Structure 1
Amino acid sequence: MHFINKPLTTLILSCCLVLSFSSFSQQILIGTVKGKLLETSQKPIEFATVALYKAADSTIVKGTITDSSGLYLFEKTAEGNYYIQASFLGYKTFTSKYFSINRSKHEINLENAILEADDKTLKAVIITAKKPLVEQQIDRTVLNIENSILSEGNTALELLEKAPGITVDDDGNISMKGKPGVSVMLNGKLTYLSQKELTTLLRGTSSGSVSKIELITNPSAKYDAAGNSGIINIVLKKNEKVGINGNVYVNGARSRANRYGGGASLNYRSGKFNIYGSYDHAYRGEIEYLSFTRRFYDGNVGGKPDRISYQNSETNEPLHTNNYKIGVDIFPDAKNTFGVLVNGNFGKYANDNNTTNLLVSSTGETLSNPLTHNDNLDRWKSNAYNFNYTYKLNQSGRELSVDLDYSQNDNRSNQNMDTRYLSAENSTVEARSVRRGYVPSLTNVYVGKIDYTHPFGEKAKLETGWKSSNVSVDNNLKYDTLRNEQWIPDPSWSNHFTYKETIHAGYINFSKQFGSVSVQAGLRGENTQTAGHQVTTDSLVKRQYFQLFPSLFVSKTFGPNHRGQFSYSRRIQRPDYDDMNPFRFFRDPFLYYEGNPFLKPELTHSVELSHTFKGKFITAINYSYTSDVMNWMMGQVDSLNTTYQSPQNLKSFINYGISFTASLQPASWWISNSFANFLRNDYKGDQKGGKLDNGIWSFSINSQNTFQLGKGFSAELSGFYNSRSVYGVFVSKGFYVISAGAQKQVLDKKGTIKLMVNDIFQTRQRRNTAKYENLDMDGHIRFDSRMATVSFSYRFGKDITPIRKRSPGSEDIQNRVKGGN
């Protein structure tokens, strides 16, 4: 860690302010042009397109649309000669006479423009430019989820499982190209949830509300430095069309249990403002089967075990979730945009778990067979409030944006664990242990950020900004034990833990094009202060550190078909709140999880070299080195027949590999996107007297195929395979998944019926082993992943897209958390 005073932080902030204030020294734009569009019957024409052209060379200067009164307005226009052109479907194009703007005549009121009906207009031919399912951009891979049949009826977490190069384990931890430590954003916004709460939120976010998913493997200095393996940005749908538009959908599904969902969105946009809102509800039934085999040794580890534990669990996990969003954008003129957004998520998630844990001797004799019933019910509500402002200083792209955010996440969990100990003959109950817990967790988040963009001509650009965030978490866990039919407080299990974190960050990012070579260099500085207070034992762990995070991107074009790119970045992954909270969570009396309040953040250096051929084939070689890598290590207490899991800092984690991406169109009706990744992961560390050195070569293949079958029919076929992989002391076996779906457009292409089956052969199963020191265990999880879904969606409203669009004021707040149980 580097402990540095605040001069550098102050310097970065000063640079931001100087650049921001300098932006007001622009040329003063003096003219205003306004007018009105009417039909021959003198009825106003709303939502018509109006463009302002230079008279000298007929180049377009500005564009706008008429409001409900047919009025249009161009403000702050430079001195010169102009004309306007207005058009609307079903009418002849109108072109005005030339007019001049100067200092003596700067308020132009044009005569009413009369648009005549075009009697020769044929039926409109609508050409739909549908985005491909997978787009390869220069710095990211974009999955256009709203175009996918196979996304229907899924959750956001399940969508990530299908993304190329992405793996999700049974606890919801996400890896990118084999590397853990991914930051997840929702609309570029930080949600500040713990890993458990984030997993619940992603499970509760319906695919019907997701527009696209962006995979950014090596982010620039503009983005938060957190996320060692990169950033995943989940972009939710937002209607940009003029007038009243909306969409409704409903779906039903069956896996091992029933599932259903539905939602609606509504948007109204005029020339001066945009109002939008949406609501989604989903119910997800889910049944999973888990089994663990653990071997215990009294002496000769690795030989014949003295005892073997066979644990089997069946979980019933119904999930009710609700998502809502309401917002307004105001466009008083072409320069200013104000926005207010309120969104949230609330629901409940139950985990009804029945577990048997048969313990036998080396000769097969039954030693014990406790039966445990775990009944956990999580209820949560998360509300986020955002105010944003964007000021476009001139037409050259100089822009200042401000975001203010506040969010509150309230998660409350009720836990009950009832264990009955059977006799050796499994006939009578020898003893009973009953415990209940109340786990409230409240997280408050305040974030403020300012960003400034300053182009220098068309080939150079400077970006700079400042961000401050403050997070506070309060978790007061209380447990009671049932004794003699009375509930008695259990201080040995109860725990009160609070956490506070403040981060101040500034960045500067400069890019310039030198002929066929493009260079982008950035530097981000983050000052972090944390305090974890174990109130129960009055133990306080405080940290303060300042880190610099440089980034560099160099790309060169070699002729029309080849492009090479080099990227480097230094990043950080801070411990989640869950990881640091030291309370114990028991699956049964012989298996528990606990946090580690002394965890240190991990730091990563990442390098990537890539080559793109014809924009369709990408080859990338990557390498990263992580120090103090955080990993959930497992341990075993043989004398108590108990296994536990706790996060620890290992010495290092090294990841390197090569990936191939191909975007092909084998036929006019067939588009295929495929991804292959060959990699090696190596974990090294000294834990509890043992020396960990676990590495393995792995590979994964992902293919997405879409077929246009004509007459409104289309289909999709996807599949992926993940080979054997390693995570800390765990080695997981390979598995594959194949899914297929079809859709038909109906009701004049405004309605869509979809039918799909995920994981047709129910092959998504997790099998892993762990052998380290005296730990010797196997695990097998059978997910509830085979699901048949039928859905219907209908969109309504005018299909008109405005010329002017609001640029979001905040796109770089990444998702990392605090709070949770």
Structure 2
Amino acid sequence: MIQYPQEKFSPINIDQHANAYSIGFWKRQQYLCTRKSLITVAAIYMLLLLTNKASAQQQPTHTVKGKVVQVSQQPVEFATVALYRAKDSSLVKGTLGDMNGDYELQQVSIGHYYVQVSSMGYKTQLSSSFHITNSTTTIDVPTVVLEKNEQQLGGVTVTGTARKPLVEQHLDKTVLNIENSILSEGNTALELLQKAPGVSVDDKGDITLKGRPGVSVMINGKLTYLSQGELMHLLRGTTSSAVSKIEVITNPPARYDAAGTGGIINIVLKKSAKQGFNGNVYTNYARSRDDRYGAGFSANYGGEKFNIYGSYNHAFRGEKEYMDNNRDFYAEEHGKGEIVQSSKLNNGTTEPLYTNNFKLGADVNLNKHNTIGFLMNGNIGTYTNNSTTHNNWYNSQQAFMYKAFSKSKNDQQWTNLTYNLNYLHKFNKHNAEISADVDYAYNDFKGDQLLHTRYINQAGGDLWTPSSRQGKIPSQTNVYVGKIDYTQTFWKDGKLEVGWKTSYVEVNNDSRFDTLLQQNWIKDQSSSNHFKYKETIHASYIQLSKDWKGWKAQVGGRGEFTNTKGHQVTIDSVNTRHYFQFFPQASLSREINSNNLVQASYSRRIERPGYDELNPYRVYRDPNLYYQGNPYLRPQLTSNIELSHVWQQKITTSIYYSITKDVVNWTISQVPNTNTSYEYAVNFKNMVNYGASISLHSNVTKWWATNYFFNLYRTSYDPGEVKATVLDGRTVFAFNLQNAFTFKKGFSAELTANYQSAAMYGIYETKPVTIISAGAQKTFLDNKFTAKLMVNDIFQTRQWRNVAKYDNIIMREHIRFDSRMVTVSLSYRFGKTTNQLRERKQGNEDIQSRVKSGG
């Protein structure tokens, strides 16, 4: 086992540890100058926006607000609300309701008005007229009830504005509507993440958001409590047909778990929430370097009092990838001096993946105040990695010495089951409600590895005795979560939210590796390890929000007490940590006029190490290269600030800054006196990330809608006491261009382009990446039947190239993903539907992103 330095860690010394580092004079001056410059720019930015109307007449201070519901009194989410003058029906302004059906129109002048409310699938309704006078501050419009529109569209041509855009930009989040995307078909949830604006996924499955690592992945608003490896399997095993939308949240409010220093990505799964019997069936076939196919169905049956729903889908994903990994070993550190020897590795893999996803749930409306629900989700699958590796070794004169020819097989299978019981009670006063969730999640993972290597001389004969290694990696994770939340309004425009959550996680991983010696398997004590991990988190939060005269303020705080115990049973080493952290959050926005809105937000967040990052067992790529966890990793803590401006709901610009202490990063080292290298996770002293982004949404024509996202940021690392070679910093430019075209007779198309310039992740420097994809679809039978054809990564340019320097090693890697894919998909919607029913989420989906899985 590799011996790591054991560091002290107490409830109060997370920040003490981070602050104990000393910064050199010049580095400190540079940092202070950067911070002061950013603050100065931010101050000027806000001042100009807030005062650009100072010389104009005083803004109107009246507010119009109301609520939109269905006949069943359930809210209509994101309804379109337009304010008209009563005298001439001229449009004054408009807005979108929120997920609770509430809407608000600010800065309204004195006069007579009415509102028009519409939502796709419902009949448009008008409110009664109302009068705003000098003595009126707020007008509460009577609740608008929308009825389901049962009429078929017939020959009416639906333009691009009749459905949600592919990308919706909000002040607090960006939403990628997967249901509306042609190019999402045939992809996995992991591949969908790469299409989200500002999101990047590397070859190991590490996710960054606007250049910041430590992103937490939620499913239906809840952490998954899985290790990174297990999460990758879950996302690979979740087909795009099961995903409704992806929400990207850079500065989450206090009601969200504090996990995720880079922000939160929330994957919202589809749920049929309509009355009557209805559903959908689909099938698809794709071809990349191998075949891929899938099929599934979803069904729902419900009425005013109950709703039962379920789904199942099966997918096979054939995949072939190729990798080159070249390592040069120098006589001196940092790549100085002469090359002592070199390794040139070529690797090819075939990776068949079979997945089965299923869901079963029910909601019962006991009465108008009380609702209970049950939900079960399952993901069962297998994955095999068949690998062939040629590793040629050269001496200091670059003369061939020998070849290590390896064949390996890694069989993995997993069962992931989650159960949720939930309750919701609505009070008569203050729009108050209380909800409670109890969750249990079980994840069972089994991995079998076999690695056989021949050492071949220049003549083609065996130089040494062949080596063989086998490993068994069973892992079980149990997650128990309980939470309760309460919300109510106060002072008409205020809202109070409080809650408590407790989670308990236990992980048991007993990894055993054997080597073949004289035809007998002998346990490898240096690689085998039995690791047990337990984690308890108690959290509570309070959040207050208030609207007044064009201003919106939100302030909150979340306290989390964490208790962890990692036990390496093999060597009887125990590492415990107990600490409390407070995570404040605040945001302030101002609607200057109907065209301009500004917002500032701040949050402090934490990212705890993944369970597989803490587990020091080894995963071998070949006999001279492996990966290993570090049981002494510390959590990383981040402070984020962001300033945003929205113009006409079309252009959103933001500037942001964050500093992360004890940032976790993967680095490279070498086993002394051998040719063996290994990668493992360490804590760097800090990481600074700052930049600017702009998002543009426009309907260029009636048939062409665009969503463009541009991001420019700079990231720099300070390794502190870690012996690593990192660059001074790297400025990165990235964009995501989404184009949607809607034509007559049910035809539509999409064209997307993604680009990221050279970037830096710790000791790794990556090369630029470009991806271009296109697709088309046609609807038949009154839009019930849909046929799609798409090509992802048309030019097969999604390739991962990176360079890393550590100690006396320079490593260059090139991975050619199996990303160019042609897909044909057919789907059919059936059944008659009426009113929309309640949509319910679980409470445990925030832990699973840290459990171990393969792939």
Would the TM-score normalized by the shorter structure come out above 0.5?
yes
Please identify the structure whose Cα radius of gyration is greater.
Answer: 1
CA 1:820 to 1:749, structure 2 compared with 1: closer, same or farther past 3 Å?
closer
CA distance in 1, matches of 2:196, 2:643: 21
SS at 1:522's partner residue?
Answer: strand
TM-score normalised over the length of structure 1:
0.84
CA deviation profile, 1:25-72 (whole Å, cap 9, x unmatched): xxxxxxxxxxxxxxxxxxxxxxxxxxxxxxxxxx99993399xxxxxx
CA 1:751 to 1:304, structure 2 compared with 1: closer, same or farther past 3 Å?
same
Alignment of 1:414-429 (within 5 A): 414-428=448-462
CA distance in 2, matches of 1:624, 1:348: 39
Aligned-residue offset at 1:298: 3.2
Could you tell me which residue of structure 2 aligns to residue 567 of structure 1? 601
* Aligned counterpart for 1:272 among listed residues 277, 297, 305: 305
Contact 2:591 2:597 in 1 (8 A): yes
Matched AA of 2:826:
F
The answer to whether residue 790 in structure 2 is matched with residue 782 in structure 1 is no
Q: Which moved more, 1:272-281 or 1:429-438?
A: 429-438
CA 1:426 to 1:819, structure 2 compared with 1: closer, same or farther past 3 Å?
same
Could you tell me which residue of structure 1 aligns to residue 177 of structure 2? 144
Aligned-residue offset at 1:395: 6.2
Contact 1:616 1:662 in 2 (8 A): yes
Could you tell me which residue of structure 2 aligns to residue 378 of structure 1? 412
CA distance in 1, matches of 2:845, 2:643: 24
CA distance in 2, matches of 1:612, 1:131: 19
SS at 1:170's partner residue?
Answer: coil
Alignment of 1:187-226 (within 5 A): 187-226=220-259
Contact 1:633 1:647 in 2 (8 A): yes
CA distance in 1, matches of 2:460, 2:154: 76
Alignment of 1:160-239 (within 5 A): 160-239=193-272
CA 1:60 to 1:490, structure 2 compared with 1: closer, same or farther past 3 Å?
closer
The answer to whether residue 677 in structure 2 is matched with residue 669 in structure 1 is no
The answer to whether residue 452 in structure 2 is matched with residue 452 in structure 1 is no
Could you tell me which residue of structure 1 aligns to residue 190 of structure 2? 157
Contact 2:357 2:378 in 1 (8 A): yes
Could you tell me which residue of structure 1 aligns to residue 71 of structure 2? 63
Could you tell me which residue of structure 2 aligns to residue 22 of structure 1? none
Could you tell me which residue of structure 2 aligns to residue 351 of structure 1? 385
CA 1:433 to 1:687, structure 2 compared with 1: closer, same or farther past 3 Å?
farther
CA deviation profile, 1:463-519 (whole Å, cap 9, x unmatched): 000000000000001122222223233333211000000000000000001211110
Contact 2:11 2:577 in 1 (8 A): no
SS at 1:426's partner residue?
Answer: coil
The answer to whether residue 468 in structure 2 is matched with residue 434 in structure 1 is yes
Aligned-residue offset at 1:318: 0.6
Aligned-residue offset at 1:368: 1.8
Alignment of 1:644-723 (within 5 A): 644-687=678-721, 689=723, 692-723=726-757
Aligned-residue offset at 1:688: 5.0
SS at 1:362's partner residue?
Answer: coil
Structure 2 gaps, min length 5:
1-8, 14-66, 75-120, 122-149
Contact 1:298 1:638 in 2 (8 A): no
Could you tell me which residue of structure 1 aligns to residue 781 of structure 2? 747
The answer to whether residue 322 in structure 2 is matched with residue 289 in structure 1 is yes
Contact 2:438 2:482 in 1 (8 A): yes
CA distance in 2, matches of 1:231, 1:414: 33
Aligned-residue offset at 1:527: 0.1
Contact 2:454 2:462 in 1 (8 A): no
SS at 1:816's partner residue?
Answer: helix
CA distance in 1, matches of 2:389, 2:260: 36
Aligned-residue offset at 1:155: 0.4
Question: Over aligned residue pairs, what C-alpha RMSD do you find?
Answer: 2.4
CA distance in 1, matches of 2:579, 2:826: 52
CA 1:157 to 1:616, structure 2 compared with 1: closer, same or farther past 3 Å?
same
* Aligned counterpart for 1:584 among listed residues 590, 594, 618: 618
Structure 1 gaps, min length 5:
6-58, 67-88, 90-117
Contact 2:221 2:841 in 1 (8 A): no
Provide the aligned length of Structure 1 versus Structure 2.
717
The answer to whether residue 287 in structure 2 is matched with residue 254 in structure 1 is yes
Aligned-residue offset at 1:660: 0.5
Aligned-residue offset at 1:522: 0.2
CA distance in 2, matches of 1:453, 1:285: 47
Contact 1:694 1:726 in 2 (8 A): no
Matched AA of 1:673:
N
CA distance in 2, matches of 1:794, 1:278: 14
CA 1:457 to 1:689, structure 2 compared with 1: closer, same or farther past 3 Å?
closer
CA distance in 2, matches of 1:414, 1:694: 42
CA 1:196 to 1:779, structure 2 compared with 1: closer, same or farther past 3 Å?
same
* Aligned counterpart for 2:519 among listed residues 461, 485, 488: 485
Could you tell me which residue of structure 2 aligns to residue 46 of structure 1? none
SS at 2:612's partner residue?
Answer: helix
Aligned-residue offset at 1:785: 0.2
Contact 1:473 1:819 in 2 (8 A): no
SS at 1:425's partner residue?
Answer: coil
Matched AA of 1:294:
R
CA 1:812 to 1:662, structure 2 compared with 1: closer, same or farther past 3 Å?
farther
Q: Which moved more, 1:452-461 or 1:616-625?
A: 452-461
The answer to whether residue 441 in structure 2 is matched with residue 403 in structure 1 is no
The answer to whether residue 827 in structure 2 is matched with residue 793 in structure 1 is yes
Could you tell me which residue of structure 2 aligns to residue 3 of structure 1? 11
CA deviation profile, 1:112-169 (whole Å, cap 9, x unmatched): xxxxxx9xx9998989741111111231111110110000000001011111100000
CA 1:812 to 1:445, structure 2 compared with 1: closer, same or farther past 3 Å?
closer
Aligned-residue offset at 1:4: 7.0
Contact 1:2 1:546 in 2 (8 A): no
Matched AA of 2:282:
Y
The answer to whether residue 560 in structure 2 is matched with residue 522 in structure 1 is no
Matched AA of 2:486:
Y
SS at 1:667's partner residue?
Answer: coil
Contact 1:498 1:533 in 2 (8 A): yes
SS at 1:241's partner residue?
Answer: coil
CA 1:484 to 1:770, structure 2 compared with 1: closer, same or farther past 3 Å?
same
The answer to whether residue 762 in structure 2 is matched with residue 728 in structure 1 is yes
Higher relative contact order (CA 8 A, sep 6+): 2
Q: Which moved more, 1:627-636 or 1:565-574?
A: 627-636
SS at 2:339's partner residue?
Answer: coil
SS at 2:222's partner residue?
Answer: coil
CA distance in 2, matches of 1:399, 1:342: 24
Could you tell me which residue of structure 2 aligns to residue 106 of structure 1? none
Contact 1:223 1:812 in 2 (8 A): no
Matched AA of 1:736:
T
Contact 1:625 1:653 in 2 (8 A): yes
CA deviation profile, 1:372-416 (whole Å, cap 9, x unmatched): 111001100000000000001126420000000001000000000
Could you tell me which residue of structure 1 aligns to residue 371 of structure 2? 337
Could you tell me which residue of structure 2 aligns to residue 532 of structure 1? 566
Identical aligned residues as a percent: 51
Contact 1:65 1:271 in 2 (8 A): no
Aligned-residue offset at 1:680: 0.3
The answer to whether residue 251 in structure 2 is matched with residue 243 in structure 1 is no
Q: Which moved more, 1:429-438 or 1:153-162?
A: 429-438
CA 1:62 to 1:294, structure 2 compared with 1: closer, same or farther past 3 Å?
closer
Could you tell me which residue of structure 2 aligns to residue 83 of structure 1? none
CA distance in 2, matches of 1:459, 1:65: 21
CA distance in 2, matches of 1:575, 1:394: 44
Q: Which moved more, 1:431-440 or 1:464-473?
A: 431-440
CA distance in 2, matches of 1:286, 1:553: 45
